[in-house]
Amino acid sequence: MAADIILETQQLRREFGALVAVDNVSVKIRAHTFHSIIGPNGAGKTTFFNLLSGNLKPTSGRVLFKGRDITHLPLHRTAHLGIGRSFQITNIFPNLTVVENIRLAAQALGRDNFHFWRHARHFRRYEERAAAVLDQVGLAKRADAPARTLPHGDQRKLELGMLLAPDPEVLLLDEPTAGMATEQVPELIDLIQGFQAAGNKTVLLVEHNMNVVMRVSDYITVMHYGQVLAEGTPADVTANEVVQEAYLGTLYGDVATDS
């Protein structure tokens, strides 16, 4: 059983002044599963992700990756473990082209970072990887456009492409469809699910769209005021009375006001 757990938090806590954004959260993520985290705005989901990816240091508690304590790992080491993340608020290199954003993501974990005069395009591995990812996320036609000039929906695809490019083992996806046109959402979710299934990856997804969450998830963790309110399969969570009373109703309300 324990061997199955790829990512684990123990009493993870993060305070912002008097506010406890993540309140002693202990979660176990099973390898090769699709695990969603839901919760209303301000529940602490993004903060939780920031603690997992090393963007924020916890006030207390630990993060374990394959049983190893990674709580105090420098930020740039996380990716080398095979943990990648994408951001709720698009986080790209705005003045670089689309293909270059992806190529930089692909190159990061390779061994060619310290070549001082050969043109980057001669490193075919990353070129080809970037081209393949661009095809996957449907941005091949925009490859040479500066990233800042993309419409929001395409920037979300780029954000996802940058996550996929290094082929991480664990994907932390913070609302990948945030602000996207509704009709584009299923396509993107299918893409993520396909990537997860084909590569036997572990996906941790924050998502507000309950239809999506119920459809794709193996497990769901419900967060509320920084705490874990409930955990289990989609069926468990749907059936959970506490969740229903305290939260599911309001969440659907959130979705309505969001869009």
Partner 1 sequence: MSLSAATSSPRTRRWQPYLAPLGLFIGLAALPFVVALLSGQSPAGVLANEAGSAKFIQGLLIEIMILAIVALSYDLVLGITGLLSFGHALFFAAGAYLTGVLLKSFGWSLGATLGLVLVSAVLQALLFGVVLPRVKGITFALVTLGLSEVFYIVVQSRELGQYTGADVGLQGVPPPDFLNPTSHRLTFYLVTLIFTFAVYLFYRLFVDSPTGRVCVAIRENENRALMLGYNTFYFKLVVLVIAAITANLAGTLHALYQPVISPNIASLNAMVDILLMTLIGGLGTLTGAPIGAAIFRLLTFFLDRWFGESASFMLGVVYVALVLFVPYGIVGTWQRRGFHLAAGRRWLLGLLTGRGDG
Ligand X SMILES: Nc1ncnc2c1ncn2[C@@H]1O[C@H](COP(=O)(O)OP(=O)(O)OP(=O)(O)O)[C@@H](O)[C@H]1O
Binding site for partner 1 (CB under 8 A): 53, 55, 74-80, 85, 91-96, 99-100, 103-105, 107-109, 112-124, 127-128, 130-131, 134-135, 140-141, 143-144, 162, 166
Q: Is there binding between residue 41 and ligand X (CB under 6 A)?
A: yes
Strands 34-38 and 219-224 turn out to be parallel
What is residue 188's three-state secondary structure?
helix
Closest CB to ligand X among residues 18, 198: 18
First to last CA, the chain: 41
Structure tokens, 31:
């390898």
Q: Is there binding between residue 221 and ligand X (CB under 6 A)?
A: no
Instruction: Work out how close the CB of 124 gets to ligand X at its nearest, in angstroms, rounded to a whole number.
Output: 39
User: For ligand X, what does the binding mask look like between residues 3 and 22, x meaning CB under 6 A?
Assistant: -------------x--x-x-
217: closest CA among 235, 199, 230? 235
Instruction: Work out how close the CB of 164 gets to partner 1 at its nearest, in angstroms, rounded to a whole number.
Output: 12
Q: Is there binding between residue 46 and Mg ion (CB under 5 A)?
A: yes
> Hunting for tokens 């709720």 — which residue is that?
88
Residue 115 contact, options Mg ion, partner 1, ligand X, none, Cβ 5-8 Å cut-off depending on partner type: partner 1
- Tell me the backbone φ, ψ of residue 22, rounded to 5 degrees: -130, 120
Structure tokens, 231:
């955990």
Closest CB to partner 1 among residues 1, 111: 111
Q: Is 257 exposed, middle or buried (0-12, 13-18, 19+ CB in 10 A)?
A: exposed
**Segment lying near ligand X (by CB under 6 A), choices 43-51, 77-85, 97-105, 150-158:** 43-51
- Residues that bind ligand X (rule: CB under 6 A) add up to a total of 12
Question: What's the per-residue H, E or C state across 144-158?
Answer: CCEHHHCCHHHHHHH
Of residues 65-124, those binding ligand X (CB under 6 A): 88
Closest CB to partner 1 among residues 129, 208: 129
**Whole-number Å distance between alpha carbons of 210 and 40:** 12
Contacting positions for ligand X (CB under 6 A) = 16, 19, 21, 39, 41-47, 88
Contacting positions for Mg ion (CB under 5 A) = 45-46, 88
